Amino acid sequence: MLLIISLIIVALFIYFLKDSLKKYANIFYIGVAVISIAVFLLEFLSMPLFVKNNILGIFAKGSLGTAMFVAVMYAGALPKGSKLIAPLMKIRGELSITAAILVLCHNFTYGMTYFRMLFTKTSLLSATQLAAAVISLVLIAIMLVLTVTSFPSVRKKMQAKKWKQLQRTAYVFYGLMYVHIMLINIPYARLGLGMYIANVVIYSIVFLGYAAMRIAKAVSVKAARAGKTYGKKPETVLYGLALVICAVMTVSCFAGRQTVSASEDNEEWNDFFNEETVAAMVKEIESSTAKTDAEGTTQESLEESVSSDGQSDSQAGGVGNEVSGNSNNSGSDNVSGNSSGNSSDSGNQSAKPDNGSDNSGELSGGSGSDAPANTKFKADGTYTGSAVCETYNYNVTVTIVVSGDVITSVTATSEAGAQDVQYFNMANAKVPAQLLANQSTSGVDSVSGATKSSNAIKKAFYYAYKSAKK
């Protein structure tokens, strides 16, 4: 949906500022570069999810830059005689440079995670992520060459024929861009997430529609030079083919999709998030959180529980928060405890817990050894704990409310970005309620398809519990 908003913004930008862009191009480039750098830096700060996903997201996800490239694409595909050709062709070079600067913001924002993983921890990438990351590097290389040669001062120094041949690599760029976008969105769409299904449909219409228009125009021009006329036949065939491919891409979001449960072995998920990926993440969790403090035994037993949850869900095909960004490691942790509440939280679970157990207020790890039966909380009040996702660098915070030596409320929030928040929400819909009912992480199952988010919530709960203990 951000693409549609971005296309509207670009249309208004061209309508009102096309003359200014042509006249003061360098000022626009500097301004866009400053905005891009600011957005990149703001991504490291805490802010409301709506702002992060829908305002900064237009820049960080590359939606605005892609929309500008769409304008550049269609400028060369519109049929002769179109009233839009003249204004678009007049600023086509300036638009492409501006688009490249905006897209670089996206490359840096997501490259901090995925390029780093590509070169240092390839095993953490699924097959689709790996392909998307490699294609992204090719896209950046092509884009930089096209951008540099789009500056008038550079273009003047090149032979016209060579410059034109070089610019034709833009077609490769557009094609790979579409493949890259599909690799990112289709895996999410196959999970039944509406936003990603919509993205597959919208981007397919835009890019495949362009391909049909551009090829039809090329056929028409070539026929005219040869003194032939084909009428509307080429256009009909090409638009029909584009429509068929678009339908195939849409169907791919649904065909063979299954609901993954803890007892299933699903090949799609095994490919989506393979055993090597899980093993690497579990190893990171163990190495980063195994600490020798006064309560180290209890902490390590919890981490064994978290790791075993991840491994069992992986074997069941349920470990998934992938593609463009959701493995949801619980990573290294920050602990905070206080007796005055801060609970502007989602996923609120405040019903009274089950009273069939005498160990309310106890935390037990995955090794099967419960915390001592005489464990008591410091006092009634509100306590918080946080877990930081090392790979993706966002916080998960759990707030518990203690009353009468019993946990009466468990809430969880996160700073997950747009690519991760869907999976946090999946986990947040179930895990806090289980933690409340069990009064511990013992017996709390991770949510299939959101295992790492579930583990992060459980880890943060542990630290909230730990801060509340005597």
Domain annotation covers residue 43? yes
Could you please report the per-residue DSSP string of 151-178? SHHHHTTS-HHHHHHHHTHHHHHHHHHH
User: Do both 43 and 174 map to the same domain?
Assistant: yes
Domain boundary among 206, 224, 258: 258
Domain with residue 453: its CATH number is: 3.90.1010.20
CA 321 – CA 421 distance, rounded (Å): 10
CA 309 – CA 292 distance, rounded (Å): 23
Structural element, H or E, at residue 403: strand 395-403
Reported as half-sphere exposure (CB side, CA atoms, 13 A), residue 12 has a value of 6
Q: What's the pLDDT score for residue 287?
A: 45
User: Do both 387 and 248 map to the same domain?
Assistant: no
User: Do both 91 and 238 map to the same domain?
Assistant: yes
Q: What's the pLDDT score for residue 58?
A: 93
* ∠ Cα 227 233 237 (to 5°): 130
3 state SS of 112:
helix
Pairing of strands 346-349, 333-335: unpaired
Domain annotation covers residue 285? no
Domain boundary among 229, 258, 287: 258
Q: In the beta sheet, which residues pair with residue 388? A: 395
Q: What's the pLDDT score for residue 334?
A: 39
How many domains does one find in the chain? 2
Is the distance from CB of 261 to CB of 316 less than 8 angstroms?
yes
What range does the domain containing 415 cover? 381-468
Domain annotation covers residue 44? yes
Q: What's the pLDDT score for residue 230?
A: 67
Q: What's the pLDDT score for residue 257?
A: 54
Domain annotation covers residue 296? no
Domain annotation covers residue 268? no
User: Do both 246 and 391 map to the same domain?
Assistant: no
Domain annotation covers residue 160? yes
Domain boundary among 258, 273, 302: 258
Domain annotation covers residue 305? no
Is the distance from CB of 296 to CB of 358 less than 8 angstroms?
no
Q: What's the pLDDT score for residue 263?
A: 32
User: Do both 242 and 388 map to the same domain?
Assistant: no
CA 347 – CA 424 distance, rounded (Å): 10
Residue-level pLDDT, tens digit, the chain, 470 residues: 799 999 999 999 999 999 999 999 999 999 999 999 999 999 888 777 788 888 888 999 999 999 999 999 999 898 877 888 888 999 999 999 999 999 999 999 888 878 888 998 888 777 888 999 999 999 999 999 999 999 999 999 999 999 999 999 999 999 999 999 999 888 878 777 788 889 999 999 999 999 999 998 888 888 878 877 766 677 788 888 888 888 888 888 776 554 333 333 333 333 333 334 333 433 443 444 444 344 444 444 454 444 444 433 333 333 333 333 333 433 334 334 443 333 334 444 444 444 433 333 334 433 333 444 455 688 888 989 888 665 555 678 899 998 888 888 999 888 766 566 667 787 888 889 888 888 888 888 887 767 778 888 888 888 888 888 87
Domain annotation covers residue 98? yes
CA 41 – CA 94 distance, rounded (Å): 25
